[in-house]
């Protein structure tokens, strides 16, 4: 028999052993086996191109960040337009160089705040923007001619874009001066996030409408940001994230070509959006490989000749599902590493998550710290002094080649199935993403994938210090509802009805671009819910396929 002291010793030993993982894996999360050392003979075909030259492996601009730093954004929005405007002014005063608008779920899914489906979610994960009046408040005192604004919005992207143009009109800002992005990538919504509204094909039409309209009216604005980020956070690998994203991008190019678009023109304003996770070299090489592959696909498949149209411009989020609520201050380190990977990978726009974003809306203090992380990397680390500072590393060049090969395989599998649209309509990509997410969860649950503070290096009596707690004003919802009713009372409701009818009639015709009709509706203070309902009457709603 063992005595009590021996029992305690055995218990402590077992606990200690559980806290120590084995040696780091020799594979990346995308299952690429990394050699002990990469030698010159393992990189036989060295890309001789310089930054700014096709195929842009080393970057899309010859001078990189010496010419212009990336845009510093912080994803932000909560409660009412007034509260979010205050946060934007706070961040701009502290050196943020672009806005990134977070919208609440009712706005994303096309519900007005008075809808029973909307009430519990008003202002919870973003700002409530149901009509032009709210957007006017959101940008009050902010010069849209000098501020780049990004909207993470998809199902209702065309409506939010129309509202943004209407606000610019009211501010007397010429549309050609507007810069920024609407995400507007509905294909990944069907797979990874779920804020879809309409069936796939009418949604593709609406996206083509926004791109073609923007090319003429807002030539410096990005009308789409093809987003691998949400694939990644849904559970896929870095290789699959890039592969699914480029496959979606090809589907959008095909749709625009079918609509008569000039690929040398519209491709100049196609942009991309990704998450950066924690495997440093895989993330850097993911961007180098994606940049090179996209340029080659456009040149070989669509005979694109304009260098500007071949440039793979992308923004990133550093954080997302790589952050943990357990030992949350560890996230500051994670975001710093991811920020460095984004810069060394050549991002044009970066948003750094706050350390508390895994469990709440960031406080002013945590949001400022996240912004300072970017500023330290930009101005203190020295990495922005030269273009592609990791270029020429045997490991980086070898892994870039391997990533490109694996990404191309993923695209080939989707195309063999019938393309991204068919794969989504059938539920094929949804099934693949769910299967990969299950494997990733099993990997962390088993301890195969180490997450410091979550599955290793925990204390038996661990209590997480969450720091300052964010509190949403409990009166915010009442103010949103009151303002909504006031807008409906003072607007010309007959004019709204007439314009909504015109929108519905145009939606029934395949040849009509709907953007002018949406802008008219917004100027008349028609609401998100009213415009979406009008289009649902013509197109119906997407029914999610279920596959096992």
Tens digit of pLDDT for each residue in 24-75? 899 999 999 999 999 999 998 778 899 999 999 999 999 999 999 999 999 9
- Is the confidence at residue 374, as pLDDT, over 80? yes
Mean pLDDT, range 128-156, rounded to an integer = 97
The answer to whether the CB of 281 falls within 8 A of the CB of 396 is: yes
Query: Exposed, middle or buried by CB within 10 Å (0-12, 13-18, 19+), for 426?
Result: middle
Preceding peptide of 351 cis, ω within 30°: no
Mean per-residue pLDDT, 191-196: 94
Pair type for strands 98-101 and 349-352? unpaired
Banded model confidence at residue 222, pLDDT cuts 50, 70, 90 = very high
**Is the pLDDT assigned to residue 12 strictly greater than 70?**
no
Helix 238-258 crosses helix 200-217 at what angle (to 10 degrees)? 70
Question: What is the edge-to-edge ordering of all strands in the sheet holding 221-222?
Answer: 221-222, 180-182, 148-151, 98-101, 71-76, 349-352, 313-318, 270-276, 224-227
pLDDT per residue as tens digits for the range 434-444: 999 999 999 99
Tell me the whole-structure pTM to 2 decimals: 0.94
Domains and their CATH numbers in the chain: 60-446 (3.20.20.240)
Query: Measured between alpha carbons, how far is residue 307 from residues 40, 122, 163, 286 in Å?
Result: 30, 44, 32, 21
Q: What is the mean pLDDT of the chain?
A: 94
Backbone torsions φ then ψ of 349, nearest 5 degrees: -150, 135
Q: Which residue has the tokens 């020799």?
A: 26
pLDDT for the residue numbered 18: 52
């Amino acid at each position: 028999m063992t005595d009590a002291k021996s029992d305690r010793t055995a218990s402590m030993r077992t606990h200690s052993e559980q806290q120590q993982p084995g040696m780091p894996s020799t594979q990346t999360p995308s299952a690429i086996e990394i050699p002990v050392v990469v030698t010159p003979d393992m990189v036989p075909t060295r890309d001789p191109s310089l930054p700014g030259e096709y195929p842009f492996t080393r970057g899309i601009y010859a001078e990189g960040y010496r010419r212009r730093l990336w845009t510093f954004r912080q994803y932000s929005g909560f409660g009412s337009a007034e509260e979010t405007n205050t946060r934007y002014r706070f961040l701009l005063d502290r050196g943020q160089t672009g806005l990134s608008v977070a919208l609440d779920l009712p706005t994303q899914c096309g519900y007005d705040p008075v809808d029973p489906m909307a009430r519990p979610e008003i202002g919870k994960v973003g700002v409530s923007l149901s009509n032009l009046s709210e957007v006017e408040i959101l940008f009050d005192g902010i010069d849209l001619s000098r501020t780049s604004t990004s909207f993470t919005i998809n199902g209702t992207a065309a409506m939010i874009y129309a509202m943004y143009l209407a606000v610019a009109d009211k501010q007397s800002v010429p549309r050609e001066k507007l810069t920024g992005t609407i995400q507007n990538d509905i294909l990944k919504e069907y797979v990874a996030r779920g804020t879809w509204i309409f069936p796939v094909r009418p949604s593709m039409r609406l996206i083509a409408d926004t791109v073609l309209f923007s090319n003429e009216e807002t030539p410096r604005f990005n009308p789409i940001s093809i987003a691998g980020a949400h694939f990644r956070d849904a559970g896929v690998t870095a290789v699959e994230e890039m592969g699914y994203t480029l496959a979606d991008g090809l589907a959008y190019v095909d749709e625009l070509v079918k609509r008569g678009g000039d690929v040398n023109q519209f491709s100049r304003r196609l942009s991309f959006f990704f998450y950066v996770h924690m495997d440093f070299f895989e993330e850097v090489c993911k961007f180098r490989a994606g940049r090179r592959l996209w340029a080659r696909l456009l040149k070989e498949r669509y005979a694109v000749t304009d260098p500007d149209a071949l440039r793979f411009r992308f923004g990133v989020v550093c954080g997302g599902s790589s952050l943990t609520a357990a030992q949350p201050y560890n996230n500051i380190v994670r975001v710093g590493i991811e920020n460095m990977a984004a810069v060394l990978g050549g991002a044009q726009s970066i948003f750094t998550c706050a350390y508390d974003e895994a469990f709440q809306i960031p406080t002013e203090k945590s949001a400022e710290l996240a912004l300072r992380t970017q500023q330290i990397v930009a101005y203190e680390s020295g990495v922005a002094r030269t273009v592609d500072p990791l270029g020429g590393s045997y490991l980086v060049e070898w892994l870039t080649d391997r990533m490109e090969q694996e990404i191309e395989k993923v695209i080939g599998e989707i195309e063999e199935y019938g393309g991204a649209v068919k794969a989504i309509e059938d539920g094929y990509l949804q099934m693949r993403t769910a299967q990969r997410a299950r494997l990733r969860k099993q990997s962390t649950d088993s301890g195969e994938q180490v997450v410091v503070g979550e599955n290793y290096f925990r204390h038996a009596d661990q209590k997480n210090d969450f720091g300052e707690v964010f509190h949403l004003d409990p009166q915010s919802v009442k103010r949103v509802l009151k303002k909504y009713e006031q807008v409906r009372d003072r607007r010309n409701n007959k004019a709204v009805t007439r314009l909504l009818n015109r929108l519905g009639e145009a939606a029934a015709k395949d040849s009509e671009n709907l953007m002018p009709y949406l802008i008219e509706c917004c100027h008349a203070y028609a609401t998100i819910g009213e415009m979406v309902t009008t289009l649902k009457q013509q197109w119906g709603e997407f029914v999610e396929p279920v596959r096992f």
